[in-house]
Structure 1
Amino acid sequence: MSHGRYELSQRQWELIGEELPQPVSREDGKGRPSRSDRELLNGIFWILCSGSPWRDLPDKYGPWQTVYDRFRKWQGLGVFERILSRLRLRLQQDGYLDLNTWFVDATINRAHKAAAGAKKKKGLTRP
């Protein structure tokens, strides 16, 4: 099966598909069948990777409102955090990630106004 530029391959889908909430089926059989999670996730990736507004989502991913609503729902449920954790664990297990090299640098160095090209005020003396 070929996939588009921002779409998941079968192998990628197999790695993360289990992290998505299972759909609730209606017992009465009424209503429209929902779009597949994979299709919606591909639409979300298209938006995130392309930088386009939600309203510009190609029709093949479904109505932009549906994709956006699912994105917000999954965001609220922590789905994307679980996916990232799963992928991070997989990379670590496969030897591609060494947590000993991870660090966060929160250093903030403010430059003086003059360093940014601001004009010096005349007549001011330093104490």
Structure 2
Amino acid sequence: MINGILWKLSTGAVWRDLPERYGPWKTVYERFRRWSADGTWDRILARVQQHSDALGTVDWSIVCIDSTTVRAHQHAAGARKGGTARRSDVPAAD
């Protein structure tokens, strides 16, 4: 179950594309949704952090954890619509 969730999150694929080896996609999705709503993922992260901290395996001066996932529309990045390419007003280095 967890491997199916990790596969989905790491690939960015839609739930319906979850490989059969992880079980029915609806079941995996519902479990992910439930665990997200009830704080299970937060508790897992806290435990992993506590364990790693106790072992001294984390350099807290360089750690950054961001649990935000944002999907952009397929056309969100890329060239501008219409118009022509503009040259920079900054002179080229000699």
Deviation sequence 1:44-68 (CA, Å, 0-9, x none): 0110111111110001111111100
Q: How many equivalent pairs are there?
A: 68
Structure 2 vs 1, CA of residues 65 and 41 (structure 1 numbering), >3 Å: closer, same or farther? Answer: same
Structure 2 vs 1, CA of residues 41 and 103 (structure 1 numbering), >3 Å: closer, same or farther? Answer: closer
Q: How does 1:83-122 map to 2 (within 5 A)?
A: 83-99=44-60, 101=61
1:78 aligns with 2:39: yes
Match of 2:30 in 1: 69
TM-score w.r.t. the length of structure 2 is 0.62
Structure 2 vs 1, CA of residues 93 and 65 (structure 1 numbering), >3 Å: closer, same or farther? Answer: same
Structure 1 vs Structure 2 CA RMSD: 2.2
1:75 Cα deviation from its structure 2 partner? 0.5
Please, which runs of 5 or more residues in structure 2 have no aligned partner?
A: 65-85, 87-94
**Larger Rg, first or second structure (1 or 2):** 1
Cα distance in 1 for partners of 2:46, 2:53 equals: 10
Please, which runs of 5 or more residues in structure 1 have no aligned partner?
A: 1-39, 105-116, 118-127
Cα distance in 2 for partners of 1:50, 1:103 equals: 23
Match of 2:15 in 1: 54
1:96 Cα deviation from its structure 2 partner? 1.4
Match of 1:21 in 2: none
Opposite residue 54 of structure 1, the aligned amino acid is W
Aligned-pair identity (%): 45
1:98 Cα deviation from its structure 2 partner? 4.0
Structure having the higher helix fraction is: 1
Structure with higher RCO (Cα < 8 A, 6+ apart): 1
Write out the 4+ residue segments of structure 1 that deviate beyond 3 Å after TM superposition: none
